[in-house]
Structures are given as structure tokens and as C-alpha cells.
Amino acid sequence: MSAGKWENNEEIQIFQEYLRIPSVHPDIDYNSCVEFIKRQAESLKLPVEVVYPAVKSKPVVIIKWLGKEPELPTIILNSHMDVVPVFPEMWTHEPFSADIDEEGRIFARGTQDMKSVGTQYLGAIRLLKASGFQPKRTLYVTFVPDEEIGGQLGMAEFVKTDYYKHMNVGFSLDEGATSERDVHHLFFAERLRWGLKLHVSGTSGHGSLLLPNTAGVKLNYVLNKLTKFRSSQVETLARDSSLSVGDVTTVNLTQLSGGVQSNVVPPHFEAVFDMRIAITVDVVAFEKQIRDWCEEAGGGIEIDFFRKEPYIGPTKLDSSNPYWLAFKAAIDELGLKVHPIVCPGATDSRFIREKGTPAIGFSPITNTTMRLHDHDEFLQADVYLKGIEVYKKIIRNLAEVSQTDKQ
């Protein structure tokens, strides 16, 4: 199919319009996204509200489809409006052009992560409304800011508001991940995000001497311990092909600073580590191990966990969760393959789960080269349109979960 024929498709046109809004970090102006979503709500004849849970520059946009039984717990269909930075010189198409090539590939930042999901929800609702469907449960389509930088002024604050409390959320659907095979990745849990900064102090002096207790030697000791632990996680993955990276703990040195001159032993080094803790880890014991290593190194190391997310239980994927049963029934009826995994990164679902509400991450993107946060991010037009049909079935099933089912 030619690029011109794809571009004449209304759903593709809506998707392209959203992609062409450069809601890219840093310093995003979300106003264009808000106005776009308002227009979509108007076309669907659904009410829309904008709330500011933290600051005026960080809006949350909520489209509401009232259910026949509004007293029932509601369903959230969530996506984020922001996208990560781009390096235009590395792209073969302008990153916010939403160009379609002759193969039907739509190129733009956000095609996979995750503007596609936001407009696919709307496309699915458009089809459901056209068929005369009226949901039993109220549906909320939420568009949130700042997920790509942690969501602290977005979903993290939104779930604390009275507005969210009054929504009476029973279940949330959010982003999953691109799959290069015909199997969809489904997130039911997320690793804990920890950020560790070590301030290492030691003896300073001339670079020609073998001074005791230098900051460099201490840091090297701790770094070797963390590297050995990291290697054990690599080996665990290599031994068991059923595991994914979300099942192990990752530790990476991401920043290193200190020193003033090549022949001066500095009195101080700083090292920053990104850690993603597996949900099976005893976090108390893990933190104690890190502190013990710092003492073994000779002391004089200030430990700063500048980010330490709490343990949040996974969403149950069994008969105790009626929303999972409804989701699984839709997937089975569509003949799709799904592989539940722990999300290796972090999404806004963790803030929903922290409230005790089940949440699943799912993006209907298969047989697609993964370009999340990469150059030349793209999505096939036919994959996008198929995703709308997938969400149509999933949303219908979720909205019809009976009040007699266990909540």
C-alpha cells in the first residue's frame, strides 16, 4: 500500500497530528497536547477536564465515558504525553514530521513510546461508540505529563488528589513494550528504582606516593564488589532462558567525578549508580550489603540513596483478579500470544499499584524493530490500525466486568 493511501486514513491522520506535537524534554509546553486531546474528546462527544496536580505547567487531561453503572469501580486507560529527546542528525526523517514511507512505516518520536497507545484508545472508543456500545463501568482516558523523567509531577501527584480519589479506580491499563516477535510483552510488575551516590573521602597528596586510605582505593573496592554482583546477575540470565532482564537486579555506574590534576591524589570522589531491584530481592539485606562493603573499604564513605522506591506488589494474574480474566479472554478470542514479564524499566503503573489497584502494561506492537528512545523510531501503519481493533476488544471486556465479580 502506498504512503498516500495510508495518509488518507482518518485514524492515521489523527495519529500523525499527535506525533507532530514536539512534546519533547526538556522544558515541555504541554498546551498543544491539551488542545489536541480536547478536540479528540469533542469529536467523540465525551466530556474532558484538565487538572494540575502539582504545578500549572504539568497538566493531566481526562476524558470520561460514563458507564451505565457509575457506582462500580472505574477503568483507567492511561498514556503519557511526553517523549524523550532526539538527535535529529541521526534520523533519516525529521523526528516530528510523522512521515510515512512506501512500506507504510510512520517515522516520529513517540510512535512506539507511547503516543500510539493514547490515540489507539481513542480510535477503539470511536469504533465502540459507532457500534452502539455503552460501557457498564465508567472509562477514563488519562493523558499525563513527565513519565519519561519519573512522573513525580505527573501521575505520582495525580494519584494523591481528591479528583483521583473520586474517580474510584478499579483497574488501570498502561503502556507495555514493543516486541520484535509475534508475542506481546505484558507488564504485571516493575522493579524498584534506586539511585545511589557514594561520596568517597580519603587521604590526599602527591601522585608519586603510595598513600594509605585514598578515595580511589576505597571506591575501587566498592566498585569491584558491585561489579561482581552485577556479573552474577548476568550469569543468572545466561543460565535460564525463561528469565528476562526484569527478573534480575541491574547495577550500572552512570556518573563518576573527582580529581583536579593527574599528579594530585584527590581527597574526594563521587560515584553514581543506577539500580533496578528485582521484586524477589530482600531490599533490607541488599542495602545492608552495600553499607557493609563501604565499611570494609575503609570507611569515610557517605552513602546517599537519592532515590529509593518502596516495594510495590505485582498485579495478580489469576482468578482472583476479574480484570485479568476479562483481559485474558479478549486476548484469547483475538488469538494473540502474550508473555507476562516484570517491566525492566519503570512506568506510571507503579503509582497506581502503590494505591492497591491492579494495573497491566500492554502495547499492541509486535513484529516491529524496537526503537524505544532510539533514532528513527517508527511504527507500521497496519500495526497501528490493528492495535485499535485489539484495544476495542480489550476495552469492551474490561468495561463489562460484572459487579458480582470479586473487586
Catalytic residues: 82, 147
CA 125 to chain centre: 23
Locate all alpha helices (DSSP H) within 159-213, ordered by sequence: 162-167
CA–CA dist 242, 219 (Å, integer)? 35
Cell digits of residue 67? 458507564
- φ, ψ at 380 (rounded to 5°): -65, 140
Burial class of residue 244 (count of CB atoms within 10 Å of its CB; 0-12, 13-18, 19+): middle
Cell digits of residue 145? 505529563
Beta bridge partners of 272: 197, 255
Give the Cβ contact number of residue 198 at 10 Å: 22
CA–CA dist 314, 186 (Å, integer)? 12
Locate all alpha helices (DSSP H) within 135-179, ordered by sequence: 155-158, 162-167
